Amino acid sequence: MKSLPKWMQLNGATTAVTLVAAGGMLFAISPETVVTAFDSGPAATAPATPGTAVAAAPAEDEPVEEEPVEDGTAAGDTTDTRAKDAAGQETGGETGGESDDAGSLGGSGGGGSAGEEPQEPITPEDLEDSGLLRQEVESRIQSMRTTAATGAPYDFMLTQFNILGSNHTRPGSNADHFAPGGVRTEWAVSYLERWGSDIIGFSEIQKDQLAVFQRSTGGAFDAWPGTALGGVGVPQTVVWRKSMFTATAKESVTIPFMGQRRPQPVVRLKHNETGRELWVVNVHNAPRGREAERDQAMALELAVINELRKTGLPVLFVGDMNEKEEIFCAVTGRTDLYSPRGGSRGGACKPPKGMRVDWIFGSSDVQFTGYTDEKTAEVRRITDHGVLHSRVTVP
């Protein structure tokens, strides 16, 4: 007689960066612009039948380390495609390499490998002349500022959710005591519906989980990038409720991640009722000992945020940033963004208590209420991270 799977067993500094995006430009400010989808990935597989067991979670603040995902490979696939070289080391396949060399940032959609020829970096001193915004739409910025200042107020529920990728919970994987990804995603949908989440920044979500999410929500949410930038873009997907928001620009910023280059979504959303717009940047920075990659990613992300703020629109910056005090002090010290978790807002850095590696930040022209970092029993059977929620008001 076969034994039950584990999840059903109830017993218990300044960094040089390269700024790259679609068409050689990082951002398109024209309200009519929506970036064309790049390389679409294969269809996701159907989820497993939901179960009822509650899985135990790893120790507090010790989430499962994210794995690289090879572009075009369905991360939820149960086939282990890794090969071994003559020395017995795993190469290729799903891991995508484990080089400690962060490499340079490049490519509008990611998908490069750690062995690519490094590109000439752009230093922070070059940012003013780096063409971050299209020259032909600079004249629109003032009118966008006027709209941002005079539009009607609105509010929505923002959620940041590292959902624990299905690649981590396959039999024999490092978190196989959790239920399969499809099952946990169905649980997550029920959980998110009760919270009334309108914008969700996912981390680690895989193609099979994204398909389950879209099916289980009846197509109520749009997503970026989803599979539009290939397999490496899926884990950082941000979704928004279509009845409330419409995307008016879809961009990405590419960062180093565990020897790969991964595109992080940057999307401009228009609130359907008021016509007002805001930016959402959702990121997942490299884990654990990959400090050099995180430093490069953070420098790039903050440069992007400061450019977005020049449009006069609010900016939300969310994700699994795999840093605590360092990311908080950098964001609040080098931008006008602040955290609903608390702590200082500019000036001498005073981090909040109880920090985790997951964050929500917002620009000074938004208001946060009801911030919650939830790690209930329900959350712990879905993921090894807390789930962050806050109501956001744009006055």
CATH number at residue 215: 3.60.10.10
Q: Please state, in angstroms and rounded to a whole number, the distance separating the CA atoms of residues 392 and 157.
A: 6
The dihedral built from the CA positions of residue 37, 40, 220 and 188, taken in this order, carries a sign that is negative
Total residues belonging to the chain = 395
How many Cβ atoms sit within 10 Å of the Cβ of residue 219? 9
Specify the number of domains making up the chain.
1
Average pLDDT over residues 174-195: 97
pTM of the predicted structure, to 2 decimals: 0.70
Average pLDDT over residues 156-173: 97
Closest to 197 measured CA to CA, from 56, 374, 381, 395: 374
Average pLDDT over residues 246-250: 98
The dihedral built from the CA positions of residue 80, 83, 84 and 90, taken in this order, carries a sign that is negative
Q: Which run of H or E residues covers position 266?
A: strand 260-271
pLDDT at position 369: 98
Q: Please state, in angstroms and rounded to a whole number, the distance separating the CA atoms of residues 167 and 75.
A: 6
Q: Check pLDDT > 70 for residue 201.
A: yes
Structure tokens given for 239? 């979704």
Contact 185, 213 (CB under 8 A): yes
DSSP 339: -
pLDDT at position 151: 83
Average pLDDT over residues 367-372: 97
Average of per-residue pLDDT values in the chain: 75
> Which residue has better confidence, 43 or 175?
175
How many Cβ atoms sit within 10 Å of the Cβ of residue 316? 25
pLDDT band at 6, cuts 50/70/90?
A: low
pLDDT at position 141: 54
Closest to 253 measured CA to CA, from 108, 40, 152: 108
Cβ-based neighbours of 5, under 8 Å, separated by 6 or more: 171, 176
The domain of 309 spans 1-395
Q: Check pLDDT > 80 for residue 25.
A: no
pLDDT at position 333: 97
Structure tokens given for 378? 């329900």
